[in-house]
Amino acid sequence: MKTTMKRAAILGSIAFSLFALAQPAAAQWQATAIGVAEYDTEETLLLLGGVSAGPGGPGWSPLVGVQSYYLTYKLPTETQNVFSVRPYAGLRNNFPGGSLAFTAGYAFVSDDDRVSPVGTAVTDSRDGVVISGALDHWGTGGPLGYQLLASYNFGGESFWGRGRVTTRVSQLAGGGQFRVGGEVAYANSGDFSMTQPGLVAEWHNGTGFILGFGVGRKLIADGDDATFFRLETVIPLAR
């Protein structure tokens, strides 16, 4: 009962923060959705989605959102299914050619006492406070783009981070472009650690929509390595 009340209080506090941050510039806000589907040769499936919103324009402004995922993976005697939802709030700085964001939220994870560390792009394997940072630099006309993502879950004492570099290989009509590049991710939780190099290809339609495909290897310390395949998208909902 105490645990339930504690979770309700935390969720209520985050919800109040989201509401309070949203008030000053509600009419000017923009919203973006993301989606990720990743599957590997060890039969681990991750489906992740999220929505974030914040005012447009340069400089620092509030950012609010929610991220959720469904994860299924094989154990020696069963298949484990995990569901998580994490509301968050923070700040974002829009600058010429990129943005920088910092957020804090709380992850609610189903059966978090039974979840085993597996090779995925999530830190939310346990209930707990999560802090995250994201740097996106798409440039002001040059071919190169950069991305740095990182998050840490205090409940599970788990870290995940990824760096990605892409270059424009084709300029399309209407401002769209086709990009290719590489990335490296790293995850750590207790005795579990994983390095995940990969290649990516992205199609940008010129109005904020992105469709990407990735492939690479999960190099798991003291575990079975795997090849992963990923489909991801970014969808502008309101601009």
Residue 200 sits in a domain of what CATH number? 2.40.160.40
Instruction: Output the pLDDT for position 164.
Output: 98
Domain count across the chain: 1
Residue 25 has pLDDT above 60, yes or no: no
Residue 5 has pLDDT above 80, yes or no: no
pLDDT band at residue 149 using 50, 70 and 90 as cut-offs: very high
Between 141 and 12, name the one with better pLDDT.
141
pLDDT of residue 23: 47
pLDDT band of 70, cuts 50, 70, 90 = very high
Residue 153, domain extent: 2-238
Q: Confidence class of residue 7 from pLDDT cuts 50, 70 and 90?
A: low
Q: Which residue has the higher pLDDT, 217 or 221?
A: 217
- Give mean pLDDT, residues 51-80: 90
Of 3-7, 180-184, 206-210, least confident by mean pLDDT is 3-7
Residue 172 has pLDDT above 90, yes or no: no
Q: What is the pLDDT of residue 76?
A: 76
pLDDT of residue 48: 95
Confidence label for 94 from pLDDT (cuts 50, 70 and 90):
very high
Residue 17: per-residue pLDDT: 53
Lowest mean pLDDT of 39-48, 100-109, 110-119, name the range. Answer: 110-119
Token pair of 24, please? 């000053």
What secondary structure, in 3-state letters, does 83-151 show? EEEEEEEEEEEEECCEEEEEEEEEEEECCCCCCCCCCCCCCCCCCEEEEEEEEEECCCCCCEEEEEEEE
E-assigned strands of the chain?
A: 29-40, 45-55, 59-74, 79-95, 98-109, 128-137, 144-153, 158-171, 177-189, 192-204, 210-220, 226-238
Angle made by CA atoms 212, 143, 60, in degrees to the nearest 5: 80
